[in-house]
Amino acid sequence: AASPARGYATLSDTYSGTSELADIEWDNLGFGFLSTDYMYVMKCPQGGKFSNGELQCFGNIELSPSAGVLNYGQGLFEGLKAYRKEDGNILLFRPEENAMRMRMANRRWVPPTGKGSLYIRPLLMGSGAVLGLAPAPEYTFLIYVSPVGNYFKEGVAPINLIVEHELHRATPGGTGGVKTIGNYAANYSADACSEGTIGLLRPKAILTVLYLDCIHKRYLEEVSSCNIFVVKDKMIATPAIKGTILPGITRKSIIDVAQSQGFQVEERQVLVDELLDADEVFCTGTAVVVSPVGSVTYLGKRVSYGDGIGVVSQQLYSVLTKLQMGLIEDKMEWTVEL
Ligand code: COI
């Protein structure tokens, strides 16, 4: 890191005491934000190149009221997780997929083995001031982290989805296939707000909505925060990537894991009616990992898949999380040990 400036950590600060665990209740992690020790920040000034960046103590950042990100939603983000192995080392899962290079500070915030993971949030934003609609003159890239447990308060118990018939997450030619911050704002529709469905720490949260394509209103797209898979016999189907669906890293990983386990996986248009006679439905995402779906409500009709996690969802969840936690051999070389 560069020489320390006001509020910045020095290298010796950064690495002192990092083998100890932070003093928090590791048994009660939900998916709420917990502030940690450090964040990484780099800036790209107008017409220039990104600096090497620096570790800073975690804290608020200063932005012009006219920053591109605040006014026109000029921002992208990523999300990945780090797990603590039984030998104490820390595993990152496919970090190159997030185009991420970092050194691991904040070690003490990686939950003890089996208690959760450290969610890593890289964020790229137009931080320079603009008034008219134009790319911001300055960009800031930063990475912050937070220890997390289950995203859905149900944990690995099944979640209930509502198929949204009128509102759409993305349109062809739009930004649905990119992890832009604006894609998530659409979920805050008044209709979609309900009592605590997500996370342990949020009293009011967004219902888990399953979106359909905006043209035919018949094909599955994705769930508010994750991709979706439908299981029928030994066949697993998931909506094909075609610009309106986020190409999830967990989605891609589950396709490979399922194939390696002998399942046939189809990436194609999946009709909403296929939910009616599916054996199992599950969602995937960095935050949600593999979350079984217990029921889907579509135009007032509810289809139920049972109270527990389905056999296929359980098998895929188990292989993926064992890989992520370093409990089975990582033949794919997806994890990176720190
Ligand atoms: C993730 O799964 O990492 C995401 O970015 C989804 C977000 C709504 C938590």
Q: Cα–Cα distances in Å, from 149 out to 30, 51, 78, 250? A: 4, 33, 18, 17
d(CA 136, CA 37): 29
d(CA 170, CA 26): 37
- In this predicted structure, the answer to whether residue 17 has a pLDDT above a threshold of 90 is no
d(CA 144, CA 120): 6
In angstroms, what is the span from residue 13 Cα to ligand 1's centroid? 30
Ligand 1 binding pocket includes 106 (Cβ within 6 Å): no
Catalytic residue among 85, 153, 179, 232, which? 179
Ligand 1 binding pocket includes 248 (Cβ within 6 Å): no
- In this predicted structure, the answer to whether residue 100 has a pLDDT above a threshold of 70 is no
- In this predicted structure, the answer to whether residue 234 has a pLDDT above a threshold of 60 is yes
What is the ipTM metric for this complex? Answer: 0.98
179 classed as catalytic: yes
d(CA 163, CA 165): 6
Beta strands in the chain (DSSP E): 38-44, 54-57, 75-77, 80-84, 90-93, 117-126, 139-148, 159-164, 193-195, 204-206, 209-212, 220-223, 227-232, 235-239, 264-268, 280-285, 289-298, 301-304, 335-337
- In this predicted structure, the answer to whether residue 82 has a pLDDT above a threshold of 60 is yes
Q: Cα–Cα distances in Å, from 160 out to 131, 134, 253? A: 42, 41, 23
pLDDT in tens, 157-215: 888 999 988 889 999 999 999 999 888 877 776 344 444 344 333 334 446 899 999 99
Tell me the whole-structure pTM to 2 decimals.
0.82
In angstroms, what is the span from residue 151 Cα to ligand 1's centroid? 9
pLDDT in tens, 269-297: 999 999 999 999 999 999 999 999 999 99
Provide the 8-state DSSP code for 338: -
Ligand 1 binding pocket includes 287 (Cβ within 6 Å): yes
Residue identified by tokens 């934000």 is 33
What residue's CA is closest to ligand 1, atom 6?
A: 225
Ligand 1 pocket test: which of 78, 120, 150, 226 has the largest number of ligand atoms within 8 Å of its C-beta?
A: 226
Ligand 1 pocket test: which of 97, 151, 291 has the largest number of ligand atoms within 8 Å of its C-beta?
A: 151
Ligand 1 pocket test: which of 252, 286, 290, 291 has the largest number of ligand atoms within 8 Å of its C-beta?
A: 286
pLDDT in tens, 34-73: 989 999 999 988 888 888 888 899 999 999 888 888 888 8
Hey, what are 37's tokens?
A: 């020790």
Ligand 1 binding pocket includes 225 (Cβ within 6 Å): yes
Instruction: Supply the pLDDT for residue 244.
Output: 95
Cα angle: 106, vertex 99, 1; to 5 degrees: 45
Instruction: Supply the pLDDT for residue 51.
Output: 82
Q: Cα–Cα distances in Å, from 114 out to 85, 129, 149, 213, 225? A: 9, 44, 10, 38, 23
